[in-house]
Structure 1
Amino acid sequence: MMKTLFLNPPSFDGFDGGAGSRYQARREVRSFWYPTWLAQPAALVPDSKLIDAPARDLSLEQILPQAKDFELLVLHTSTPSFASDVKVAEAFKKANPTLMIGLVGAHVAVSPEPSVLASEAIDFVGRAEFDYTIKEVAEGRPLAEIDGLSYKVDGKAVHNPERAIIHDMDALPFVTEVYKRDLVIEDYFIGYLQHPYLSLYTGRGCKSRCTFCLWPQTIGGHRYRTRSPESVVEEIALAKKLFPQVKEFFFDDDTFTDDLPRVEEIARGLGRLGVTWSCNAKANVPYETLKVMRDNGLRLLLVGFESGNQQILHNIRKGMRLEFARRFSADCRKLGITIHGTFIIGLPGETQETIEETIRFAKEINPHTIQVSLAAAYPGTELYRQAKENGWLVDEGHSLISDHGLQVSALEYPQLSRQEIFDALAVFYKRFYFRPRKIAEITGEMLRSREMMVRRLREGVEFFHFLRERENQA
């Protein structure tokens, strides 16, 4: 085996949009997801090392001396951070000219040729589901014999056959052992999850066809391939022993609730372990399943509502009706299940009127917390194809984030400008949070827990700083 370093590279301050993040920009409150997409192949390569530079607040200068200690470097990259990540690769190659360097992630999966040709420092890219691809590279196999790989020969890109998707998800080793070996779990925090938390995937792919969603359209696919309930419960039992300080486990599958009988079986297993857990969900889970989940330790559901306008939901193929979302939210409230709701501004069909509808809808269903993001047309998605075809993409080279890591809109419509989309985000946040009902909720939460008070005060300072930065950028 080649001595292998897996790296989530340093980038913009507060940015972790590569190896684990779904939201590729700085957040309103400083947050970090686990680099699970790197931890999984790292678990397949013995004696490898994983460095998550953003979470550890490590600069390039701090990690560069490690270049001489490894034979293979694997960097996870994303569309917003690609140019910066290439510079990291070049610095490592300069420090160790014999170092083989490869890039992985959704960006290179859909643009392998320009990615591998972007710099002489890049030796290969691992396309799509790259776990076993990287394992075979680390084993020293000839690049020409490895499926799912693109590499250079005489300055030209060569693309090997596609790698078959992984069907036996139980064959993948546990990522929690890599977490224990290489990560400091206290580095990872999300505003709506208890701290410290731990997240992992129990499956890949999503049956939904949302036009904007990056991972199913680039890496995971639209078939939900899952680990067995026994495997999931076994890993959580191990994680509970390895990390007794963890207060909450989060399942980061695109839609963990896509298979209801499996969800109920996992929930009962987690209930026997006595852990608190949360997951991604679609707003269509029936009351009976929600109750089984709640009775067995479920605390919170992360739900992508996206819009309060039914036509926009149809436009993005969300497959959700607003009346179902209202009933689902009421069911969760009745059962005491917390909801973190996510919304997107600037999807096809958006107008000032539909933005107003979505703000009213968010206030009506009243998730405990929300995340508002701007529609991002990532290469490889249906939204990107539509944007190119209809002239919604303002500038092909326009960055999805500003120099400060803030998300900006690269989409614009005849009825709604890019600036109007950008400005609406702050308006949404202010109108949702700065109202008596929500202020009372958060104040009550703080008064019940000193730890929560300290945390919410810190997050409040960060949130106001975020809003001020956006106002200055506008």
Structure 2
Amino acid sequence: MKTLLINPAFSQYGGLQGHGGSVIPLNLCYLAAYVRQQNPDIKIKIIDSEILGLSHEETVSESKNFNPDIIGITANTCVFDSVINLISQLKLKLPNTKIVIGGPHPSALPKQSLIESGAHFTIAGEGEITFNELVTYIKNKNAHWNEIDGLTYYNHNKSIISNKPRELIEDLDILPFPARDLLDNDLYSPPPTKRVGLGPNTLLTTGRGCPFSCGFCGARTVWTQRTRIRKPEYIIKEIEECIDKYNIHNFNLTDEFFTINKQRTLKICNAIIEKKLNISWICSSRAQFLDEEVLKIMKRAGCHEISFGIESGNKEILKKINKSLDLNEAKRVIDLTKKVGITTHASYIIGYIGETENTIKDTIKFSKKLNTHIAAFFIASPLPGTPLYVEAKEKNYLRSDASWINYSPLSNVESVLKLPTISIQEIRKWHRKAIREYYLRPSYILLKILSIRHWYDIVNLFGGLKLFFRIKK
């Protein structure tokens, strides 16, 4: 039996090239590794159409050559139009192959995604166990789909059935390391705002879930708010495998909140130092609770950059977002991070519900006050499954003519939110204005020049400029 996993093309179908970098589809690598562990007789292949620059037609051709029994496709919201197109072509050329989609979008809208995509199944939530069970059932010609938790499908009467939710994996360390061997790791690189070294780069997961409930965040659609963490010794073993097997020394940690537990953070960092692992990495954290002890150990362990979600410089908007962040504390943490010598990255959202020109001005002003090495401005995107989506739908703030690609937080297409307080066109104007005002300041340009320490800093600078000019006014 053959199983094919596809990361669909997006850049050539409306996505902004370079926005998300060229990062490895780690979710597909986890699926492949788990299926391979549980069903070693099954042949597995991953086609990363995005990184290979394959059109849908080329992807279908590659798929047909492999002739799989089941195809799994990962789908977030802004790529879903592309997924729909791809599946329609796959079904024409591979009419006997079962197609299943998973990821954030089908997790939030399992039935709607099934109808719109034309797939045979959708998987909601954490996918490893559900996908493996589906593969096993198909291999054994067992069509009792009702026995598979987390699955949505058509029954024999053509009615849509959603089974009970799949329980979360309690111990993440039962999962084998991602099957990076199924991909060419040399092809992957992060966006210029999150590159911390030259050479191959990969994603690394040390935990899943976030205890906070920011209104825009889609992470809990799959992981929920429960935080589950991997044991430090398993994390170190995976890092060592990446170094020894793939010559990868640069890591982007996928955790929403890596520093959630101080003692665990110290234990991981001390293990990296004791093992003398020559690595560089970036992580995400909250701009609160961090102290100099942790930051210094992180830097010694190879942390070159920390990404902080600030979201807004206006307290009322922060309340609407449900972001429990003290802006003074954020300033303290970011100043301390700079002092230790770690690159600071802050992200902001423009156009959240309740936004006005004045609240956007507050955000731009505060971003300049923080003066992080990198500032990322995104247009608010009401991703399905989030409180922002629920509120926008209830208040009729969603454009009726919008496609799924309009849900992209950074693109050259119009956004989906139509607010009573500020127009879509004004949000776009202020978004572009925020980027220009931040990056074209003489003080920032000087900071950037003085911050150049490595070759990758120069590479990042030119990569950032290319992305800057791709964003239309």
Tell me whether the two structures share a fold, i.e. TM-score over 0.5. yes
Of 387, 390, 396, 1:385 maps to 390
User: Which secondary structure does the structure 2 equivalent of 1:291 belong to?
Assistant: helix
**SS of corresponding position for 1:158:** strand
Q: Aligned letter for 2:112? A: P
> What are the ranges of 5 or more consecutive residues in structure 2 without an aligned counterpart?
37-42
AA matched with 1:45:
V
Question: Counterparts of 1:454 and 1:301 in 2: how far apart (Å)?
Answer: 19
Seen in structure 2, the aligned counterparts of structure 1 residues 202 and 150 have a Cα distance that, compared at 3 Å, is: same
TM-superposed deviation, 1:6: 0.7
- The corresponding residue for 2:418 is 412
Residue 192 of structure 2 aligns to a residue whose secondary structure is coil
Equivalent residue number for residue 373 of structure 1: 378
Aligned partners of 1:179 and 1:185 also within 8 Å? no
Which SS does the other structure have where 1:48 is aligned? strand
Aligned in 2, Cα 1:275/1:399: closer, same or farther, shift over 3 Å?
Answer: closer
The letter of the residue matching 2:209 is: G
5 Å matches for 1:99-114? 99-114=97-112
Partners of 2:431 and 2:468 in 1: how far apart? 13
How large is the Cα RMSD of the aligned pairs?
2.2
| Superposition deviation, residue 280 in structure 1 | 0.9
* 461 and 261 in structure 1: CA distance in 2 versus 1, 3 angstrom threshold: same
Structure 1 CA distance, aligned partners of 2:398 and 2:420? 12
The structure-2 alpha-carbon separation of the partners of 1:459 and 1:329, relative to structure 1 and needing over 3 Å to count, comes to: closer
How far residue 425 of structure 1 moved from its aligned partner, in angstroms, is 1.2
Q: Which amino acid is 1:76 matched to?
A: T
- From 420, 426, 429, the equivalent of 1:423 is 429
Could you tell me how far apart the structure 2 residues matched to 1:182 and 1:450 are?
26
5+ long unaligned stretches in structure 1: 16-24
Match of 1:433 in 2: 439
Choose the corresponding residue for 2:124, options 115, 124, 127: 127
Aligned residues of 1:207 and 1:258 also touching (Cα < 8 A): no
3-state SS of 2:243 partner: helix
Distance in 1 between residues matched to 2:365 and 2:13, nearest whole Å: 30
1:26 is displaced (CA, Å) by 2.5
Judged with a 3 Å threshold, the aligned counterparts in structure 2 of structure 1 residues 406 and 247 are, in CA distance, closer, same or farther, namely farther
Spell out, residue by residue over 1:239-297, the C-alpha distance to the aligned partner (whole angstroms, 9 max, x if none).
Answer: 111222x3421211111111221111111112232322221111112232222212322
Identity of aligned residues (%): 30
**Greater Cα shift, 41-50 or 231-240:** 41-50
Counterpart position of 1:234: 237
Tell me the residue number matched to 1:5. Answer: 4
What does residue range 31-430 of structure 1 map to in structure 2 within 5 Å? Answer: 31-46=21-36, 47-68=43-64, 69-119=67-117, 121-140=118-137, 141-142=142-143, 143-153=145-155, 154-175=157-178, 178-192=179-193, 193=195, 194-195=197-198, 196-216=200-220, 218-244=221-247, 246-272=248-274, 273-284=277-288, 285-395=290-400, 397-401=402-406, 406=412, 408-430=414-436
Per-residue CA deviations over 1:337-390 (Å, capped at 9, x if unaligned) read 111111110112211111111111111111111211100111111011111223
Change (3 A) 1:132 1:396: farther
Q: Secondary structure at the match of 1:151?
A: strand
Structure 2 residue identity aligned to 1:139:
T
Q: Supply the AA of the counterpart residue of 1:359.
A: I
Q: Using a 3 Å threshold, how does the CA distance of structure 1 residues 295 and 247 change in structure 2: closer, same or farther?
A: same
Is the CA contact 1:280–1:301 (under 8 Å) kept in the aligned structure 2? yes
Q: Is the contact between residue 105 and residue 128 of structure 1 (CA under 8 Å) also seen in structure 2?
A: yes
SS in 2 for 1:129: coil
SS at match of 1:341: strand
Query: Alpha-carbon deviation of 1:431?
Result: 0.5
Relative distance call for 1:243 and 1:291 in structure 2 (3 A) is same
Q: Using the alignment, how far apart are the partners of 1:386 and 1:350 within structure 2?
A: 14
Q: Aligned partners of 1:323, 1:342: CA distance in 2, in Å?
A: 16
Structure 1: how far apart are the matches of 2:456 and 2:310?
30
SS of the aligned residue for 2:347 comes to strand
Shift in Å at residue 122 of structure 1? Answer: 1.3
- Alpha carbons of 1:405 and 1:367: their partners in 2 closer, same or farther (altered >3 Å)? closer
Q: SS where residue 362 of structure 1 aligns? A: helix
Is the Cα contact below 8 Å between 1:212 and 1:382 reproduced in 2?
yes
Alpha-carbon shift at residue 394 of structure 1 (Å):
3.4
Letter in 2 for 1:347: Y
Q: 2-side partners of 1:455 and 1:328: how far apart?
A: 24
Q: 1:55 to 1:353 in 2, by over 3 A?
A: same
- For 1:405 and 1:418, locate their aligned partners in 2 and report how far apart those are by CA, in whole Å: 13
TM-score normalised according to structure 2 size: 0.90
Contact 2:407 2:415 in 1 (8 A): no
Query: Aligned equivalents of 1:204 and 1:215: distance in 2?
Result: 9
Q: Aligned residue for 2:40? A: none
Contact 2:382 2:388 in 1 (8 A): yes
Q: How many residues align?
A: 452
Deviations 1:166-215 (CA, angstroms, capped at 9, x unpaired): 1110001101xx22332333332321312332212111110011011011
Distance 1:383 1:353, change over 3 A: same
Question: Please, which moves more after superposition, 453-462 or 248-257?
Answer: 453-462
* Contact 1:67–1:95 under 8 Å retained in 2: no
Relative to structure 1, the CA distance from residue 184 to residue 288 in structure 2 (aligned partners, 3 Å threshold; closer, same or farther) is closer
TM-score by length of 1: 0.90
